[in-house]
Structure 1
Amino acid sequence: MNLRPDPTFYPSPRIAMEAPVETLAFTLMLSPDGSQPDGLAVIDVDPSSKTYSQIVHQLLMPNTGDEFHHFGWNACSSALSPLTGHAFLERRYLIIPGIRSSRIYVIDVKEPLKAKIHKIIEPEEVFAKTGYSRPHTIHCGPEGIYVSTLGGGGPDGTDGPPGIFIMDCESFEILGRYEMERGVQDKHYDFWWNLPRDYMVSSEWGLPPQFENGLVPEDLLSNKYGHRIHFWDLRARKNIQTIDLGENHQMALEIRPAHDPVKEYGFCGVVVDTTNLQGAIFTWWRNPDGTFEAKKTVTIDPVPADPGDLPELLKGFGAVPPLVTDIDLSLDDKYLYVACWGLGEMHQYDVSDPMAPKLAGKVEIGGIVAKTQHPNGKEFGYGPQMVEISRDGKRVYWTNSLYSTWDDQFYPGDRGAAMVMANVGEGGGLTLDQDFWVDFPKGYRSHQIRLEGGDCSTDSFCYPSV
């Protein structure tokens, strides 16, 4: 235990923006067919380094078939909450769940270039202590590590609803389920919170039979994927309100609350509107009486295409949907980045007014039909997917794989893993860095990114910015 709080913990978003610039990134590598073990790549992101944009260390796991997807830290700025008993933790361990195996790895990255496995939690322990399966999103909270799941019990994960469980942030023991009263919540995906205001927001994707073997067209067209967001009393651990975004708004995924805890609003990305193939962003907010509302504030149109250029799944539509698969919000709450995986576009919206986002920048790279090359001339397979923003808001990183079986449906054939970075202009706008391109080992795909010392989808803050 440290005798002082970890220097990478910051009380407010504004102070975090003044932190030292990241020099390393951690990126997940997955073997789509399970023939190789999944791994963690440590990437040099220091432009003054001779190994800039190269993998400088990689750690492969002892098992196959995990399918790494999302991951997070054992501790972050939330440890500075007045409610915590863990102010002196280190941001030292990465918690990496296997979304397909339900196995969880705890990786010690105190010395990043010597990253090593600290502990492995086998799926049987996850099942026995929680009744959940398919662990997905990791958030470091004031009193422990919160883990969302996509499956309940049973072989296909449909024996009971999925939910959230909590791990001890020092021993990494699984403590048990989070929910005391879940209300109507029966699917899960992402979650995040406003710590001082004591509420949490969660979203929905689908149950394991709806995603593990690929998108199920019949379920999509009959609007059976998730389309609700849930609001929780964080400490009482109960669902206090659920908002249905409309059953046509299929797959309500990433939840991004404002970083400044004084602001009581946030955003949710919706993959596709089944009535018109649009992607969408909803803004949600809290009223003075404590109730919540949500409104669609961004729509992104599909692009007509020759059916001959489309994968089987889309031929009947004659268009490419945006497929909004990830969003991320800068620490100053000014820019929202939206990954349009189908179109091959990364959008930057000025959300200074969260009810009226304005498109401020756009990068085109990859895409089902567009197939736009990187400025260095290399092919960017798939489209922009998992996005991460530097603390100072000046650099935006992203990778290109969504989920192995979905990759194969929308982008048939192996397209190769890639990670790129774009620089943010003083007044907005995005420009791809021609010199930043990460090559991954053959047979792997790349997914979520974490930045050294924290980033914009990792930390939650306890004190307002001034």
Structure 2
Amino acid sequence: MTAAPHDHAGRPAPDPTLYRTPADAIAAPAETLAYVVGFDPAAQRPDALFTLDTDPSSPSYGRVLHRAELGTLGDELHHFGWNACSSALSHTGHHHPERRYLLLPGLRSSRIHVFDTAPDPVRPRPVKVVEAAELAAKAGYSRPHTLHCGPHGVYLSCLGGAGADGPGGVALLDHETFEVRRPWESERGPQHLAYDIWWHLTAGVAVTSEWGTPSMVENGVDPELLLARRYGHALHFWDLDTGRHLQRVDLGDRHQMVLELRPAHDPGHTWGFVGVVVDVEDLSASVWLWYRDGDRFAVRKVVTLPAEPADPALLPPVLRPFGAVPPLVTDINLSVDDRRLYVSAWGTGELIQYDVSDPHHPRRLGSVRLGGITGRHPHPSAPATGLTGGPQMVEVSRDGRRVYLTNSLYRAWDDQFYPDGIDPWLVKLDTDPDRGGLTVDPAFFPHGADFAGLRVHQTRLAGGDASSDSYCFR
């Protein structure tokens, strides 16, 4: 791995994309590149990392600039992230922190692919593969899902155990070599199911959420498990330094699949939002707020999205008995200034923007419809063509002015809820951070053959974005 750049005195130059405060991140130059992962649902071709031009002044704006293929098959790239983020300015473990390497976990293969974005950020190059056997032997986990740079290493949430269905948990990787070091948990307590991990760094508290073990998710939603309320429905709070379980907070077993965690970016706050996929009693979806209540944490539901009635003939088999489309909140995102919350309703095809200046009382500001199980709402640049899939992974620029959406969730879920197939797309929305409201950018619409037919999932923005950075200073 190449040496870090140095200043005129020979000292390592600080990475300008690591920001001391959220305000510094918001004021920094806008992203000019985005990275998106794509996967082949048939596992017949390698998955890939795509680089896209996000500079409106560029002649290649909105186009795919490069495709870096993996050297393996069947990975199913899903979530991915940087080796370093702004929190690296206040913790040890990096000799010289740089937001440089992208770590791409394979949710099916349990491999972790490492790409170097230097010296050419348009053409990331593969530099390392951490094999599934290393993750299993050193941490006891499989099915890596979400990662963040943190105070003891790179934290990697995993859905499964090694050679077993569970429990899932968190593996620690070395900040610089990316070798698997150990499991993070020291006292697991009642936690068994895993999904996401985030934290309140200055409070020393980590938060994890719950989906299901590999056997519960890899073949799609199991109706029997869902109606039996067997999927995850709780949050867990931990001592970040020791990995010791502190508290389990149950949202109620009707609220199935507690997924994406979005804590406040302001390091002085100890609240955050989490999305819930479905309420088994009425097919609604919801967003919950967690917050400190004395020396404990509490939760409350702050957003409810009802199911939408539909002609059963228009529904996929899994939904026909219900005669309705569930919203299926599968991702949420919180702007860096902590004022705007974005909620993806993948089932109904809606991306909703809320004012959360008062996090206890979100206020709906606007929405757009794209795709959807029955709606197939089109993109404005192709009004005659219905979109497949729906708003799924949502990423927000640091200044809160741009929102990026992709449309695939997970191969098995895609096949259940969109059995006619999903044609990949990436959409950009514009918004005013003060007034709110959402407008689809007609000039930014890579889709279909632009992604070589691979389904696209998560997006990362060069220089950082709303869901990949945590801050230690105000």
TM-score by length of 1: 0.97
Residue in 1 aligned with 2:9?
Answer: none
Contact 2:94–2:176 (CA under 8 A) maintained in structure 1? no
Equivalent of 1:438 in 434, 446, 449? 446
Deviation for aligned residue 1:85: 4.4
Deviation for aligned residue 1:432: 0.6
What is the SS of the residue equivalent to 2:441?
strand
Residue in 2 aligned with 1:177?
Answer: 183
Counterpart residue identity of residue 446, structure 2 = V
Deviation for aligned residue 1:443: 3.0
Equivalent of 1:28 in 37, 52, 60? 37
Show the 5 A alignment for 1:197-208: 197-208=203-214
Contact 1:95–1:107 (CA under 8 A) maintained in structure 2? yes
Residue in 1 aligned with 2:410?
Answer: 403
What is the SS of the residue equivalent to 2:414?
helix
Contact 2:51–2:123 (CA under 8 A) maintained in structure 1? no
Residue in 2 aligned with 1:379?
Answer: 386
Distance (whole Å) between structure 1 residues aligned to residue 195 and residue 13 of structure 2 = 34
Residue in 1 aligned with 2:88?
Answer: 79
Show the 5 A alignment for 1:7-86: 7-81=16-90, 83-86=91-94
What is the SS of the residue equivalent to 1:166?
strand
Superimposed CA distance per residue, residues 11-68 of structure 1 (whole angstroms, 9 cap, x where no aligned partner) = 1111110011000000001001101100000000111111111110110011110000
Distance (whole Å) between structure 2 residues aligned to residue 52 and residue 429 of structure 1 = 23
Counterpart residue identity of residue 382, structure 1 = G
What is the SS of the residue equivalent to 1:438?
coil
Distance (whole Å) between structure 2 residues aligned to residue 150 and residue 305 of structure 1 = 33
Counterpart residue identity of residue 419, structure 1 = L
Distance (whole Å) between structure 2 residues aligned to residue 222 and residue 290 of structure 1 = 33
Residue in 1 aligned with 2:472?
Answer: 462
Distance (whole Å) between structure 1 residues aligned to residue 463 and residue 332 of structure 2 = 20
Contact 1:14–1:332 (CA under 8 A) maintained in structure 2? yes
Deviation for aligned residue 1:143: 3.2
Equivalent of 2:295 in 284, 290, 293? 290
Residue in 2 aligned with 1:108?
Answer: 116
Distance (whole Å) between structure 2 residues aligned to residue 215 and residue 87 of structure 1 = 44
Matched, 1:324 2:324: no
Counterpart residue identity of residue 263, structure 1 = H
Equivalent of 1:258 in 243, 259, 264? 264
Matched, 1:244 2:250: yes
Distance (whole Å) between structure 1 residues aligned to residue 63 and residue 135 of structure 2 = 35
Matched, 1:147 2:135: no
Distance (whole Å) between structure 2 residues aligned to residue 438 and residue 107 of structure 1 = 22
Distance (whole Å) between structure 1 residues aligned to residue 158 and residue 403 of structure 2 = 27
Superimposed CA distance per residue, residues 54-113 of structure 1 (whole angstroms, 9 cap, x where no aligned partner) = 1101100111100000000000101011x4242721111000000000011010012122
Distance (whole Å) between structure 2 residues aligned to residue 189 and residue 113 of structure 1 = 31
Distance (whole Å) between structure 2 residues aligned to residue 38 and residue 168 of structure 1 = 25
Deviation for aligned residue 1:127: 1.0
Matched, 1:121 2:111: no
Distance (whole Å) between structure 2 residues aligned to residue 225 and residue 235 of structure 1 = 28
Matched, 1:368 2:373: yes
Superposition RMSD on alpha carbons, in Å? 1.1
Deviation for aligned residue 1:380: 2.2
Residue in 1 aligned with 2:97?
Answer: 89
Contact 2:111–2:131 (CA under 8 A) maintained in structure 1? yes
Distance (whole Å) between structure 1 residues aligned to residue 187 and residue 468 of structure 2 = 26
TM-score by length of 2: 0.95
Contact 1:80–1:142 (CA under 8 A) maintained in structure 2? no
Residue in 2 aligned with 1:346?
Answer: 351
Matched, 1:427 2:440: no
Deviation for aligned residue 1:409: 0.4
Contact 1:265–1:285 (CA under 8 A) maintained in structure 2? yes
Residue in 1 aligned with 2:422?
Answer: 415
Contact 1:348–1:362 (CA under 8 A) maintained in structure 2? yes
Deviation for aligned residue 1:264: 1.3
Deviation for aligned residue 1:441: 3.1
Matched, 1:275 2:285: no
Contact 2:414–2:422 (CA under 8 A) maintained in structure 1? no
Superimposed CA distance per residue, residues 109-144 of structure 1 (whole angstroms, 9 cap, x where no aligned partner) = 121222110101111111111111000001011331
Deviates more, 1:85-94 or 1:409-418: 85-94
Distance (whole Å) between structure 2 residues aligned to residue 127 and residue 413 of structure 1 = 36
Equivalent of 2:172 in 166, 174, 197? 166
Distance (whole Å) between structure 1 residues aligned to residue 460 and residue 397 of structure 2 = 10
Contact 1:365–1:383 (CA under 8 A) maintained in structure 2? yes
Counterpart residue identity of residue 422, structure 2 = R
Distance (whole Å) between structure 1 residues aligned to residue 81 and residue 451 of structure 2 = 23
Distance (whole Å) between structure 2 residues aligned to residue 401 and residue 252 of structure 1 = 19
Unaligned runs of 5+ in 1: none
Counterpart residue identity of residue 354, structure 2 = Y
Residue in 2 aligned with 1:232?
Answer: 238
Superimposed CA distance per residue, residues 343-398 of structure 1 (whole angstroms, 9 cap, x where no aligned partner) = 00000011011110011110011000111001112432110000000000000001
Residue in 1 aligned with 2:15?
Answer: 6
What is the SS of the residue equivalent to 2:38?
strand
Superimposed CA distance per residue, residues 179-230 of structure 1 (whole angstroms, 9 cap, x where no aligned partner) = 0001100010011011111001110001111111111111011111000000
Unaligned runs of 5+ in 2: 6-11
Contact 2:408–2:422 (CA under 8 A) maintained in structure 1? no
Distance (whole Å) between structure 2 residues aligned to residue 125 and residue 173 of structure 1 = 8
Distance (whole Å) between structure 1 residues aligned to residue 415 and residue 257 of structure 2 = 19
Counterpart residue identity of residue 296, structure 2 = T
Counterpart residue identity of residue 185, structure 1 = Q
Distance (whole Å) between structure 1 residues aligned to residue 14 and residue 331 of structure 2 = 31
Q: How many residues align?
A: 459
